[in-house]
Each structure stands twice: as C-alpha cells, then as structure tokens.
Chain A
C-alpha cells in the first residue's frame, strides 16, 4: 500500500511496545500485515495507558452509579448532579513519566490535559488540585524536581486562570526514580448541556481545532506504559510542551461554539493524539471516520502520517460539527486566533481510514481498534499480612513534646505553604477555604452552594496491606469532605502502581481496587472517572502503591463551611472515634523510631459512616466551632494544626488508658477532633447516636500543655512547621 515507510520487523514491533502475541492478534484482526502507520496506530490504542488492558477486569468491579451520577467512567470526565440544573464535571489524571523527565513541562501539560478533559464536556473549570509524590529529600534530584513540578503546575494553571486549591505532597525514597504528578480538574456545567464524544450522523465534517501539530510527544502514551531504565533522560523529546495561553483561548472558543449550538460531538486530543480521539469518536457513535491529513495544521513541514497520527502536541480538539453551523464555528475560532480545519468526515462503514499525500496510509476496523484491544487476567499474589504491632512494645525514644516538635517540622508533616503559594488559589473569587485545611471549599457561581474538594491516599498503608490501604484512601477523602461540613458525592481515582507483569505489583493493584470498591459501596461514594498509571518503576524498583482518591462533596451553604482553626479560648476539645494507639505504619514509628513495620490501622467502614454522618449533623446544627480529621501523625498533630491555624493553645488532659506516645501519635481511623461551646449538647447527641466521644481538654493560652510534658509554645511550633520546606528548597535542609 505504501512504499516509503519502514518495513515492519520484529524489532520495530518490540519498539512499539507490542508483544509478538499482540502483533499476531493484529494480523488476525485485519487479515494482513499492518503498514508502519497502522502499527503506530495500534501501538497507540493498545498500550496500557489507553487500553487499560491490565486493569480493566478489576476496574469493572468498582461501583460507578448512584443517585447523583450523570456520567460514570468512559467519557472524558465524570459528571454528577448537584441540583439547581447544575452538574460537576471532574477527573484526575497522572503525568508521572513526563514530569520525571522534564518536570516543568511534564507537570504543566498534565494540568493542561486534565483541564481539557473537563471543558471538552462543556464545563467551565472552577478548581484544580494535585497530588505529588517525590523521592527522599536527600536524593540529589528531589529538590529540582519539586521546584520544576510546582512551577509547572503553577505556570499552567495560573495562566489558564483556574484556582489551584488543594492537594498533597509527600516524600519517600520509593519515588526517587519515578515521581508521581496527579492532577485533578473540576468544572461546572449546566446539567442539560453536557457534551459527549460519540459522533452521530454520516457525512458530518470532522473539525480540527486549537494549536498546530508538531513532532512533540510522539509515543508519549507508549512511554507512559513502560518502565524507566537508565536512559530515562534520553526520552526528553517525547515530552510535550504546554501553552496555557492557547488553552485559555481554546476554552473560551469551545464554550462559545457550544453555547451557539454548533457541536455534535467533541473529544480532546490527549494521550495518543489524533489517533485516539478520532477512533473514539467514531467507535462510540458506531461510525467510520476518514481523515485527510493534508488538511491538518502543522507546525513544521514534512511531517509523515505516522508522526501526525501519534503526535501529542497540546491544546488541540477534534469535533463533529453541525454542517450548517460550520461557518459560524469557524468565525468564532478565528476570532480567538486559533486554527480551524475540516480534516475528515464520518462514514457509514465503520472503517478508520487515513489518507496523506494522495495515498491511503491506514484502513482499519474502527470498533476493533478499541474493543479488541487485549485484556489481561494477569497473575497476582496477594500481599502477606503483616503482624499487628503492640504499642506497649514500642519504646518511646524521646518525650511526647520532643516528638511533636520534631514531627511538626518534618518533611511529610510540615506546612506546604511554599508549594501552594505558587498557585493562584484565589482567582475567580470563589475560594471559600484556601489550601491548608482538610478540604478546599469553592463556591458554585454566586452560591449559596459550594463544593468541597480533596485528594488523598496513604501509600505506606497500601504497601503494607493493599486492601486496607485502598479502603483508607477512600475513607480519608470522605472524612476530609465531611470535616468541612460537606456531603461526599463521588470520587475520581488515579491508580499509580509499578509493573503489572510482576505478580506482587498486580497483587497491590487488585487489593487496592478491592479496598476502594468496598469503601465506595459502604460510604455511597461512587467512582465516576479515573486513570491508571502502571510501570512506575526504575531499574526494577517500583513506587509505593499510590491509588490517589480525588473526592468531591457538596455544601448547601458556603457560609457554613467548617474550618480546622480553634475559634476561641475556653472551648471544650472533643474527640470522636476510638483511640487504640495504633502505631503500625504510623509516621511516629517511621520518623521517630526508624521502623517501617506492621499492619496499618484497620478501617471500620460502618464506624466511618456513623462518625462522619454524626459530625456533619453537628456542623449543620451549629454545635461545633472547629473540626479536623485525624490522619497522618495522629491526634497530637491534628491538635497542633488546629492551634497553629488560630494561634490559640490548649490544655490537654490525662489519658490513663494508653502509653502517651501511642495515644497522641497512633493513627486509628474514623476519628475527628472538634471544639464546642456547649459540651453537654454534643455529649447527649453522641450517646444517642452511639458514637464514641471523649473530652481531650480545652482551648486557651499560647501553649500546648500536656500532662507531664513541657509546654510547647504554639508560635514556636508554627515557626518549625513553616520552616522546613522553604529551608529545604533553599538548599539548607
């Protein structure tokens, strides 16, 4: 069919990340050897990133429906109903490998990609979050990766004009050779004006919109589907370059032509670019697609069909337009200074045909490209259960006060201000709760409704017990939304793991997905979108299993959102939930005792639900003045954060039932700290609801005063809390 393309050899097939078996499957499917361009198209559609071939059978077990769900997984993003005719569109996606190779552009284009997923569906983005995992602070690359990733996220989001309101940052040596950059975007659309990717109608024009196509990012999705070796640096040319200015124009132009009723179907060109978007639009609409690449706007001359089909140049969209609205749409795009070209049409024959320079470069069955991608039931080994650590056996190497002082200024528990101050978190004027609390709160339009947003996972729990870790990630997101007074609605998951061809890694994935599914069902918290990132390994060393959960909750009235800061002196401090002093896998055990051991704290989903519903009710009825979920670092860290956020200290009472370090630093789940003016009312309610509640002490003074410990000045704790990250980034830590 084509003369000037390279011959397809076993080496070329391997370079495309296809196994000999997968290649045989292709030959059988199309009844002949594929051309070079066709091989590229198959590799783009059948890599792990696009086909979910290792994870698909497990993802199917997740609950994806519920009363608020309008669109679950399978579209550009998930869509949920928040009443008043409005919908929330959101998703989280990883850009791990590109960010490790080229941190600024990798992270920036990660943000750009997820924003496109959201506005492709007709939503205006209102907030971004991100979850970042870096290597050990002492690793020589960590500092520059942190600097580059944070600058890249800020550089893109700030310019695009969306507030980046929350997220998380962690450090662990297991990410030394493979950092994680998970970006989440959230948008608001009118419920009856959601746009989907399925084409409809034969002979409809397929229109290319946005920036021009260049040679960047070719095989990006394939790169994301393979492990790193020592040659990671050489993969720099596969990283795309972001242009937030074009994306902002693309947003405005897309929303404008959607409002004018020009659009039948729309799909952004993300991973695997033109190939993936065109195939998806056709296949979902049971239609064929013919593309004529001679009309594709190109940044450079002489690009081959293969390069155009696999380019991952950013800020591009593919649309099927209503033929009578084509001119109107073109005028809008020209106004915004963006490229607009009719590059193909829909056909009745379900073939994916690509023409270039008068030659036919590909002719493939469009449904089978996606539907017939291999699905693997990969072998997996469940992880071994680790012994429960008896807290009485853990000898405290220092006093509780000294441990708090050390932990509050440690890499994993210190303030992230250095990071989030580089993100514009106030633009659009709707940020009710800024970064630093349990969840960000963003007003919806002019209110009174607001969304609570959070991103959570505890990878060390997932490694120790994948099932429990999966449950805990969901429970913590649910708790964080609850702590600001929101009703958790739905979540997006970003599953980051190592090489799934290794049974123990596959076991982590299977365990985490099971745990996530169980927690979602117990908490009525469905999964509506997500992304899987596998092969996060370098030279055979895998990352910690990191299934990030991005949660969205709804507040009826933004003026009643709850915060962590103590509000006044002399208020009672109350703890909800059971404290057993669980030190296994705790930060205390790791950072104070130097032991990474034991089973993680168990998750009792019924208790989570009961305690969370109780807390939400207290907030709604105005019975509490501050609420904070207890998570990493345990109770005393939560209390210190509440004190530092307000400058008000606390007098904390005796706790005879447990050793001090276990009581204050254990990481038992399903717990919240609250303050209240009227303790009796809260106690009565707790008794009636059968929720364990104990009094911890009272707010007041300028110190944290614990029985038998030296008092700790709140301002001194805050100084340590704020000092670590800036000092580290300045090269001092």
Chain B
C-alpha cells in the first residue's frame, strides 16, 4: 500500500500517522507538501492527518480545503481513490466538499483529549474491514471542534445509506449521550462518502497501534486497508 500524507502548515499529527502507516503497511508514506499540485505516481491511499492547519484561523479546515494540492486530492477521490481524513483532516474534507456536514465546537465548549469508545457500524468498507460490525474499539480523541452536524435531510441520507462508519458509544456498544463526549448528531464519529472511498473521522486510530504502548485498537483500520489493496492486487 503506497500512502501519501498531505502536510499543510500547522498540521501536527502527520508524524503519528506516518508511523502507523509505516508500522502496519511496512512502507514509508510519502509526505506531500500542500503547495504541490500532483500526488506521487501510484498512490493508493491519500491521508489528510490531524492538527491545526493554518492555526484553525477563519474556520477549521477552511483555508486548507483551498490549498493547491486539494485539486489533486479531489480528482483522486473522484476516480475512486481512497482518502482517509482524520480530525482536522475530517474538517478539511467537509470544507472541501468531499464529505457532507460540518464539525462544530464540542458541546461543552472545551477541547477534549481522552480515550473514547467507538462502535464500528459496518465492516464492509475498505476502511473498516479489519473490524467486525458492532465491535467496540477504544481510541483517543483530541479536538475542540468535533461535534458533527448536518441538516436533517443529510443525516437521514447518511443513516439510510449506512454511511455512518463509527459512532461514539459506551464500552459495551450502547449509544448513550453520556458517552457522546462532543455532542455529535446521532453520536457520529466517522462517515463515508456516497461512493464509499472517502472516510472522515474525528478520533485518532493512529495513536493506538503499538502493543508495547498499551493499546492496538487502531490497527484494524490500517490493517484492513492493507488487506484491501492486497486483495485488489
């Protein structure tokens, strides 16, 4: 699996992401500067990592969504290429029109960093095939603006088409306002686009990939992607 990690000024989880990709795919990802206009030839997976692109100034992700490289990312996605957008990446993907909806300030108006539980809603996507549907994974969040909101019609479509990939839940998989730390609509933690080739999610699977560091719940996402490309080859 050849991955390309997009680096915007102010992005700060690109190293975490690169380490996860390296450990699980066995291949060093290409780091692609925002001012570039093409992706490296043969890219399988584009990753928009977390951080504070452009300092979150103006609106989270708004400036990055208009960076030169994003035209290449859009056309990559339009051709069915896989795009993984995490945290600030999710915000950028929404601003860039790759995914519907918007990430608002957390309901309690504070930045929150803690481990959360996610219920995997389906396992038949390239991003979630490493998990079982209904499985609960524990991964960290670290964001101030992760409260997913969309209009009623969009939410109905997302739910109707089964495009919610991850939902905040209790450790035993119950969706409960007490476990929805940022107040997201329908406890949405991650969604896919209509075609199923773009995933946006707020939590950080890339921070839970090493057994020696204690938790490996995030590995399934990357391992699933590696399998996806192995099968495709």
A-side residues, CB < 8 A to B, are 151, 154-155, 158-161, 243-246, 248-249, 335-337, 420-430, 432, 443, 447, 558-559
Contact = CB atoms under 8 A, between A and B. Distances in A.
Contacts of B41: none
A387 B140 CA distance: 50
Contacts of B206: 429
B140 A426 contact: yes
Closest 7 CB pairs of A and B: A161-B12, A245-B55, A159-B52, A424-B142, A429-B16, A424-B113, A426-B140
B213 A429 contact: yes
B110 interface: yes
A51 to B, nearest CB: 35
B51 A161 contact: yes
A420 to B, nearest CB: 8
Contacts of A246: 55
B9 interface: yes
Contacts of A337: 9
Interface in B106-146: 110-114, 140, 142, 144
Contacts of A447: 212
B44 interface: no
A332 B113 CA distance: 33
B111 A424 contact: yes
A151 B112 CA distance: 11
B81 to A, nearest CB: 26
6 contacts: A245-B9, A248-B10, A249-B10, A443-B213, A447-B212, A559-B212
Interface string B41-73: 000000000011011110000000000000000
B27 interface: no
A158 B13 contact: no
B15 interface: yes
Given A421-B112, A428-B16, 4 more contacts: A161-B13, A420-B113, A426-B204, A432-B213
A21 B15 CA distance: 55
Nearest to A154: B111
B2 interface: no
Nearest to B213: A432
Contacts of A426: 113, 140, 142, 204, 207
Nearest to A337: B9
Interface of B: 9-10, 12-13, 15-16, 19-20, 35, 51-52, 54-57, 110-114, 140, 142, 144, 204, 206-207, 209-210, 212-214
A301 B216 CA distance: 54
A421 B114 contact: yes
B19 A158 contact: no
B77 to A, nearest CB: 26
A427 B212 contact: no
Contacts of B142: 158, 424, 426-427
B189 to A, nearest CB: 16
A421 B113 CA distance: 5
A335 B34 CA distance: 11
Contacts of A160: 12
A245 B140 CA distance: 23
B213 A158 contact: no
A243 B10 CA distance: 11
Contact of A422 (B57, B111, B140): B111
Contacts of A249: 9-10
Contacts of A430: 213
A153 to B, nearest CB: 10
A422 B54 contact: no
A447 B19 CA distance: 13
A443 B35 CA distance: 33
Contact of B111 (A158, A244, A335, A432): A158
A405 B212 CA distance: 36
A678 to B, nearest CB: 25
Nearest to A447: B212
Nearest to B13: A427
Contacts of A420: 113
A431 to B, nearest CB: 8
A148 to B, nearest CB: 12
A249 B9 CA distance: 7
A420 B112 CA distance: 9
A423 B114 CA distance: 9
B10 A245 contact: yes
Nearest to B12: A161
A98 B64 CA distance: 33
B76 to A, nearest CB: 24
Contacts of B16: 427-429
A439 B216 CA distance: 23
Given A424-B111, A425-B113, A558 B212 contact: yes
Nearest to B7: A252
A676 to B, nearest CB: 23
B55 A244 contact: yes
Nearest to A422: B111
A154 B56 CA distance: 14
Contacts of B20: 429
Contacts of A443: 213
Given A159-B55, A559-B212, A423 B113 contact: yes
Contacts of A161: 12-13, 51-52
Contact of B9 (A151, A154, A336, A424): A336
A589 B10 CA distance: 49
A243 B52 CA distance: 12
**Most B-side CB within 10 Å, residue of A151, A426, A443:** A426
B117 to A, nearest CB: 16
Contacts of B54: 245
A428 B114 contact: no
Nearest to B15: A428
Contact of B113 (A336, A422, A428): A422
A148 B35 CA distance: 36
A248 B112 contact: no
A159 B87 CA distance: 13
A156 to B, nearest CB: 10
Nearest to B114: A421
Contacts of A248: 9-10, 12, 52
A427 B12 contact: yes
Contacts of A244: 52, 55
Contact of B52 (A245, A336, A425): A245
A619 B20 CA distance: 30
A314 B16 CA distance: 28
Contacts of A429: 15-16, 19-20, 206-207, 209-210, 213
B82 to A, nearest CB: 22
A425 B56 CA distance: 19
B48 to A, nearest CB: 16
A128 to B, nearest CB: 13
Contacts of B110: 151, 421-422
A567 B185 CA distance: 38
Contacts of A243: 55
Contacts of A159: 10, 12, 52, 55-56
Contacts of B213: 429-430, 432, 443
Nearest to A429: B16
A158 B20 CA distance: 20
Nearest to B212: A559
Nearest to A417: B114
A266 to B, nearest CB: 21
A131 B46 CA distance: 40
Nearest to B210: A429
B142 to A, nearest CB: 4
Contacts of B51: 161
